[in-house]
C-alpha cells in the first residue's frame, strides 16, 4: 500500500468519523444548533469520505489476469496438426498422439497402435 493511499484512507476515515459525529449530534438534545444543518454537514462529510475511498479503489490497478500458457510441443518444423493422419490406418491424430523422443517427433496412433517417426516436410 502506498503512502498516498494510506493518507487518503486516513482522511476519508476522519471525514466519515466527523460526519457520523455530526449526524449523531443532530439527534442530540437541543444544543441550540440547527439539527438540519448538522445532518447536512454530516451527510456531506460522510459522502466526501466515501468518495475518497471509491477514488482510491478505482485507481488501484486491477490484479493481472493470469495468462494461460498453452503447452505446445516445440516442433522444429511447421507441421499442420489439423490435417495429421495416421500413415497406417488414416485415422485423424491429435496433439496427444504426438510425442517428442530424442529430438524426433514420434506419432503413436491410438487407433491402430502404430508408432513411427514423423518426417517433417520442409516448407519454403
Select 7 or 101, whichever has its Cβ closest to Zn ion.
Answer: 101
Segment lying near Zn ion (by CB under 5 A), choices 10-18, 29-37, 74-82, 87-95: 87-95
Select 59 or 95, whichever has its Cβ closest to Zn ion.
Answer: 95
Which of 6, 10, 89, 104 touches Zn ion by CB under 5 A? Answer: 89
Q: What is the dihedral of CA 18, 24, 25, 29, to 10 degrees?
A: -170
Distance from C-alpha of 124 to C-alpha of 118, rounded to nearest angstrom: 19
Strand, coil or helix: 19: helix
Does position 109 bind Zn ion by CB under 5 A? yes
Q: Find, among 22, 20, 21, 25, the residue nearest to 50 by Cα.
A: 20
Does position 107 bind Zn ion by CB under 5 A? no
Select 25 or 88, whichever has its Cβ closest to Zn ion.
Answer: 88
Strand, coil or helix: 102: coil
Angle at Cα 28 formed by Cα 26 and Cα 33, nearest 5°?
Answer: 55
Which of 9, 11, 88, 97 touches Zn ion by CB under 5 A? Answer: 88
- Strand pairing partners for 105? 100
Select 25 or 97, whichever has its Cβ closest to Zn ion.
Answer: 97
Q: How far is the CB of 108 from Zn ion (least distance, A)?
A: 9
Amino acid at each position: 500500500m502506498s503512502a498516498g493511499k494510506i493518507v487518503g484512507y486516513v482522511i476519508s476515515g476522519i471525514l466519515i468519523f466527523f460526519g457520523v459525529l455530526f449526524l449523531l449530534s443532530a439527534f442530540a438534545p437541543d444544543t441550540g444548533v440547527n439539527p438540519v444543518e448538522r445532518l447536512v454537514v454530516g451527510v456531506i462529510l460522510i459522502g466526501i469520505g466515501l468518495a475518497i475511498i471509491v477514488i482510491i479503489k478505482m485507481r488501484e490497478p486491477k490484479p493481472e489476469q493470469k495468462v494461460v500458457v498453452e503447452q505446445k510441443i516445440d516442433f522444429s518444423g511447421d507441421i499442420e496438426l489439423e490435417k495429421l493422419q495416421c500413415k497406417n490406418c488414416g485415422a485423424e491424430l491429435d496433439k496427444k498422439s504426438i510425442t517428442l523422443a530424442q529430438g524426433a517427433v514420434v506419432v503413436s496412433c491410438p487407433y491402430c497402435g502404430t508408432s513411427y517417426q514423423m518426417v517433417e516436410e520442409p516448407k519454403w
